[in-house]
Chain A
Amino acid sequence: DAGVIQSPRHEVTEMGQEVTLRCKPISGHDYLFWYRQTMMRGLELLIYFNNNVPIDDSGMPEDRFSAKMPNASFSTLKIQPSEPRDSAVYFCASSWILTDMNTEAFFGQGTRLTVV
Chain B
Amino acid sequence: AQSVAQPEDQVNVAEGNPLTVKCTYSVSGNPYLFWYVQYPNRGLQFLLKYITGDNLVKGSYGFEAEFNKSQTSFHLKKPSALVSDSALYFCASSRGTGFQKLVFGTGTRLLVSP
Q: Which of B45, B49, B101, B105 is close to A107, meaning CB atoms less than 8 Å apart?
A: B45
Which of B34, B42, B101 is the most central at the interface, judged by chain A CB atoms within 10 Å of its CB? Answer: B101
- The answer to whether B43 and A108 have CB atoms under 8 Å apart is yes
Query: Which B residues, 89 to 114, have Cβ-Cβ distances below 8 Å to chain A?
Result: 90, 94, 98-107
Q: Which residues of B contact A105 (CB under 8 A)?
A: 46, 102
| Cα(A69)–Cα(B41), bound, Å | 25
Point out the residue from A45, A93, A103, A104 that lies within 8 Å of B43, measured CB to CB.
Answer: A93
In the complex, chain B residues whose CB is within 8 Å of the CB of A109: 41-43
Report the bound CA distance from A98 to B92 in whole Å.
15
* Most chain B beta-carbon contacts within 10 A, residue among A4, A44, A100, A109: A100
Evaluate whether A98 and B43 lie within 8 angstroms (CB atoms) in the complex, with A42-B106, A42-B107, A103-B51 already known.
Answer: no
A110 nearest CB across to chain B (Å): 6
Select one of A33, A42, A55, A98 contacting B105, CB under 8 A: A42
B44 at the interface (CB under 8 A from A): yes
Q: Which of B32, B34, B42, B44 has the most CB of A within 10 A?
A: B44
B80 at the interface (CB under 8 A from A): no
Query: Are B41 and A43 touching (Cβ within 8 A)?
Result: no
Q: Are B99 and A4 closer than 8 Å at their CB atoms?
A: no
CB-CB under 8 A from A93, the residues of chain B are 43-44
**B60 CB → nearest A CB, Å:** 10
Q: Are B44 and A98 in contact (CB under 8 A)?
A: no
Q: Which of A52-103 contact B (CB under 8 A)?
A: 55-56, 91, 93, 98-100, 103
Chain A contact residues, CB within 8 Å of chain B: 4, 31, 33, 42-45, 48, 50, 55-56, 91, 93, 98-100, 103-110
25 A-B pairs with C-beta separation under 8 A: A31-B100, A42-B104, A43-B44, A43-B104, A45-B102, A48-B101, A56-B101, A93-B43, A98-B98, A98-B99, A98-B100, A100-B51, A100-B99, A103-B32, A103-B49, A103-B94, A106-B43, A106-B46, A107-B43, A107-B45, A108-B43, A109-B41, A109-B43, A110-B41, A110-B43
Which residues in B have some Cβ–Cβ distance to A below 8 Å? 32, 34, 41-46, 49, 51-52, 90, 94, 98-107
